[in-house]
A and B are shown apart, each in its own frame.
Chain A
Amino acid sequence: MLQVLRLFTDYLSQYFKTRLAYRADFFGELVSNLIFELINLVFIIVVFQHVPLMKDWSRDEIIFVYGYFLIPYALFSMFFSFWDFNERYIIRGEMDRILTRPVYNLAQVSLESIAPDRIFGVISGLIIMGYATIKLELSFAWYDLFLFIGLVISSVLIYAGVYTAIAAISFFSDSRTGISPMIWNIQNYGRYPVDVYNGVIRFILTWILPFAFVGFYPSAYFLRKEEWYTYTLLTPVMGIAFFALGLFIWNWGIKRYQGAGS
């Protein structure tokens, strides 16, 4: 563990060295993340200029959910941004190099593609949540802060688990590109109230690809929507379960993996 932490700081400094070599791109990346966050806000704001409510959710409630969603999403994409895992590690054979080293392989893969600039998403998320909190006149108890941190960690674990499992599919299949873009598309839907969707989608977003636990269910607690409290409480359980599942599939895949042969 200590070793991973030491590597983490080393990789961090390497990251900034490489990124700042292309300064224009570094800022371009920051701006593009910001635009991505704003565009979803634009959708919400423009739609609510035409209607007062979506089902029975107000604009500011939906904005609050979106603000929450940005925080686990930012933390997750900081540590698990190996979207090109298949291409980079399996097809080009980089995985063989990883496996000859003494540090846990998933930690190495994750550190190699670390993206610390994503941390700014946490700030945007907090600002957006703060705005909605003021508008909705929400009040919090002192322990809500700890609940918030716990829920965010759980949400990150869900993302991490699902994504690790998907990356691990590359060990089993020999197809060129994986299905990660597909999952990327689906994770977007976890940030709207699930009662908007029909039963099938709701079921998928809750139990199969549980992205509703990454935005909507945890936020329902802070919005004091008591009918969803059970799901809020389930968030840590789902987080641990899905992360364990992800690790299990990953380790299983590593055992089966036979190298690229190149």
Chain B
Amino acid sequence: MLRLYAELIRIRFLTLLAYRVNYYSGIIIYGINIGAYYFLWNAIYSGQQTLAGMSVEQMTVYVSIAWMSRAFYFNNIDFEIAQDVREGKVAIEMIRPYRYLSVKTAQALGEGLFRLLFFAVPGMVMVSLFLPLTFPPTVEVWGIYAVSLLLAFIINTEINLLTGVITFFFFRNDGMMRAKRVIVDLLSGLILPISFFPGWAQAVMNWLPFQAINYYPSMIFAGAVGPQQAGEVIALQAIWTAVLLVPLAVLWRRARRNLVVQGG
């Protein structure tokens, strides 16, 4: 069984490798985004040493790593599930001898690994040529970041699976999936570190899973979370990983019973 999923990961990885224009443009996209946000933040800081507890240097690292982490955890499996449902393919998928949601997760992982190796790493090298980046000083911090990033991937994938499974009930929910995408970008701390938000908003966000997707790993990488707190952060992420499984399992059970195949 494990070999099957490993094979799925490998195939998705190789599929992406075949589209070279995507690959080059992907690196450029990330480079441009990081560059533009870097200048934007420099203009925002303009001379001030710290804002919301972060120095300019930490902000530079934060912005770059936040986009690089996104390269790994971001995927479109919710849209893929919606397409399977719409085209009726999902009926075939469900009688095959594997778990549909696990297949999607494996494909997402293949995509994530591809982007990590071919976008994020070269992108980071490219960015570090132009911007003053400092990398984590010890192997330990790199390790904690890696664990945190992996958990971020799982949490984001669970959220994507949830929104994807909702298609079973609404037949079309592109609007909702698109809204989810922008909400995740904002509330995960990609475009704005959570510490910048007013206190009441932070209090609300503490009860939501989104900051576990980007804010936690990025803060670890930027050195704004010490090794002491890092354990706490990882534990929080692990809790969210487990908690999100509950609605996913419930919805999936009901979705299978509810399935209406619309042609295909």
Contacts and interface: CB of A to CB of B under 8 A. Distances in A.
Q: Do A and B share a complex?
A: yes
Interface of A: 22, 24-32, 35-36, 39, 42-43, 46-47, 49-51, 53-55, 173, 175-179, 181-182, 185-186, 188-189, 192, 196-198, 201
A46 B39 contact: no
Which of B32, B48, B183 has the most A CB atoms < 10 Å from its CB? B32
Nearest to A173: B21
B9 to A, nearest CB: 20
B92 interface: no
B35 A51 contact: no
Given A30-B175, A43-B191, A51-B51, A197 B36 contact: yes
Contacts of B45: 51
Contacts of B35: 201
Given A54-B43, A173-B21, A201-B36, A25 B175 contact: yes
Interface in B3-59: 19-22, 25, 28-29, 32-33, 35-36, 39-40, 43-46, 48, 51-52
B176 interface: yes
A28 B175 contact: yes
B77 interface: no
A39 B197 CA distance: 13
B200 interface: no
A18 B33 CA distance: 36
A178 to B, nearest CB: 7
B59 to A, nearest CB: 11
- Give the size category of B's interface with A: 35 or more
A47 B174 CA distance: 30
A198 B41 CA distance: 12
A177 B22 CA distance: 6
A49 B201 CA distance: 13
B99 interface: no
A177 B19 contact: yes
6 contacts: A35-B179, A46-B196, A175-B21, A176-B21, A179-B25, A181-B29
Contacts of A188: 36
A242 B163 CA distance: 39
B43 A196 contact: yes
Contact of A25 (B20, B52, B172, B197): B172
Contact of A192 (B20, B22, B40, B197): B40
Interface of B: 19-22, 25, 28-29, 32-33, 35-36, 39-40, 43-46, 48, 51-52, 170-176, 178-179, 182-183, 185-186, 191-192, 196-198
A101 B138 CA distance: 65
A50 B52 contact: yes
Contact of A32 (B52, B182, B185): B182
A186 B173 CA distance: 27
Contact of B29 (A27, A182, A196): A182
A185 B33 contact: yes
A198 B35 CA distance: 10
Nearest to A32: B179
Nearest to B47: A51
Given A22-B171, A43-B191, A201-B39, 10 more contacts: A30-B175, A35-B179, A36-B178, A39-B186, A39-B191, A42-B186, A51-B44, A55-B43, A189-B36, A197-B40
B25 A28 contact: no
Contact of B175 (A31, A42, A201): A31
A30 B174 CA distance: 11
Contact of A55 (B46, B171, B174): B46
Contact of B48 (A51, A178, A185): A51
A178 B178 contact: no
A47 B19 contact: no
Contact of B196 (A24, A47, A175, A201): A47
B173 A39 contact: no
A189 B37 CA distance: 9
A186 B32 contact: yes
A182 B25 contact: yes
A179 B20 CA distance: 11
A24 B51 contact: no
A51 B51 CA distance: 8
